[in-house]
Chains A and B, each alone.
Chain A
Amino acid sequence: MRFTFEKERFFRRLAFVILIVVTALFQHTRGVMPQIGAARAWLLVPLVAAISLRETNVAAMLLGTLAGLLWDFASPSMDGYYAILFCILSFVTGTLASFFLRRNFTACLLVTAVWLVLTGVTHWAFFIALGGMDHAVHILLRLELASCVYTFCFTPLYYFIVSGMDGLFRREQKPI
């Protein structure tokens, strides 16, 4: 059974929404993702980075905002922080993907790396360094950047899941 372009687009985005919700559950549920030392897996970052490369900038922004809100749900930090961060990053990535970036594995690795560093460093800057917390550099190196490196290992997995879904629901060409 073949769907029209609009139906395929709808189902593709619905699948992405489900994937974001499931990933958020994985990220927030204790004992699901192993913690290596102090490093934790921020699974939503590689997922939304991969989705943003595959979607238009507005759709990417909305999906990124949803992921950010799901992260804010669990966060004791300033409410809305992740939603705003992901909204901006998704829109910029979606726009770059429309004009400059290729939608391939290398681009996904690059984009995810940038996202992870920005997520870790901005979180550290706003809530640790500006908050005047002791041992700020230790936190940056041992906790934030370690989490970035650990999370980066999940990039190939999410790239192939997202491209698989994208291929499954993108057979029809956009009508002219």
Chain B
Amino acid sequence: MRQFLKSTQFKIFVVVLAALFGGTVLAAVGASNTSPWTAAVGTAFAPLQKLAGRASEKVQWFTDGFASARYYQIENEELKEILAEYEHRLADYDEVKHKVASYEEMLGVKEANPDFELCPANIIGVDAADLFSSLIIDRGSGDDVQVNDPVVCGNYLVGVVKKVNPSYSVVQTLLNPSLNVSAIESKTRETSYVTTTALLSENGQCMLAGLDRLTAIAPGGLVLTSGIGGIYPKGLIIGTVAQVLESEHDLTSYAVIQPGADIAGLEDVFVITGFSGQGVEQITD
């Protein structure tokens, strides 16, 4: 054993391990959360991952044409149900149209937010071990993307940049329990924070936590970013309230939220690399 510990092989092992630990320490103290070793490997690997992502999309489109007759039968039945539902909804079309118009007016898009600096990005991969749907995008520090930049799809919040490399970044989505977003419910103007749990995340949902037991928030309400904290701009749509439940742990309630962005099906996103008030902690009364 002592002979093995003195061997060249063991010394090489210790040197490599020390170098990896050094890289991890550098990643922890650096602004990009990336070690030089991962950056080097990632820079070479990111273009391959981008190609693989595109190839996967093409193959998916091609294989969809080979679905079985049984599949089409099921799909047909599902479509009939959807059609019936839409016919029902058509009756309320005018009202919905009015609502949509008011939402658009209230929330706006980029025209209403001229201060937004947007960087378009493609999703090129995912982390198989991350249980909460983190995404790899093909934009990095070379495109002015930084850690904590918000990521959106249209007006919908997707998540935040967690790790940045020169040519790619890793995004933590709303379905990650460690992500907290200060939020406001549009109708009642109640403010709190959006997070999730493992159970909700499995269903693709998050929650507006820490609400009063007598909250006036009701299903159908729209949850937006409040802008508090300076990480997310004010007014991005997080999702709609699906139901309001009482917490099992304390005397609060929480609203289960269906995110507006279809995180599992996203292909393209925008990174907000700059906005008015970014990094400035806002104080409310």
Contacts and interface: CB of A to CB of B under 8 A. Distances in A.
Interface string A14-51: 00000001001101111111000010111100000000
Chain A contact residues, majority secondary structure: helix
A78 B129 CA distance: 13
Interface stretch (A100-108, A129-137, A156-164): A129-137
Interface string B82-119: 00000000000000000000000000000000000000
Contacts of A113: none
B272 interface: no
A2 interface: no
Interface residues of B, number: 54
A131 B197 CA distance: 13
Contact of A58 (B13, B20, B125): B13
Interface in B203-251: none
Contacts of B28: 78-79
Given A33-B128, A84-B21, A139-B131, A79 B34 contact: yes
B71 to A, nearest CB: 16
A139 B132 CA distance: 11
Nearest to B199: A135
Interface in B169-191: 170-172, 176-178
Interface string A78-89: 111111100110
A75 B197 contact: no
A49 to B, nearest CB: 15
A88 B48 CA distance: 27
B156 to A, nearest CB: 19
A139 B177 CA distance: 12
A30 B57 CA distance: 9
A135 B129 contact: no
Given A80-B38, A143-B198, A134 B128 contact: no
A12 to B, nearest CB: 19
Contact of A71 (B4, B129, B131, B162): B129
Nearest to B136: A74
Interface in B2-36: 4, 9, 12-13, 16-17, 20-21, 23-24, 27-28, 33-35
A69 B124 CA distance: 17
Given A74-B126, A134-B198, 10 more contacts: A25-B52, A29-B55, A38-B131, A58-B9, A58-B12, A71-B127, A75-B134, A76-B130, A80-B21, A139-B131
24 contacts: A29-B49, A29-B126, A30-B56, A40-B128, A56-B9, A65-B16, A69-B42, A72-B35, A72-B42, A73-B42, A73-B165, A76-B127, A76-B172, A76-B176, A77-B130, A78-B24, A79-B35, A81-B24, A84-B17, A87-B16, A87-B20, A133-B198, A138-B199, A142-B202
Interface of A: 21, 24-25, 27-33, 38, 40-43, 56-58, 61-62, 65-66, 69-84, 87-88, 91, 95, 119, 123, 131, 133-135, 138-139, 142-144, 147
Interface of B: 4, 9, 12-13, 16-17, 20-21, 23-24, 27-28, 33-35, 37-38, 41-42, 45-46, 48-49, 52-53, 55-57, 59-60, 123, 125-131, 134, 136, 162-163, 165, 168, 170-172, 176-178, 197-199, 202
Nearest first, the 3 A-B pairs at minimum CB distance are A80-B24, A79-B27, A28-B125
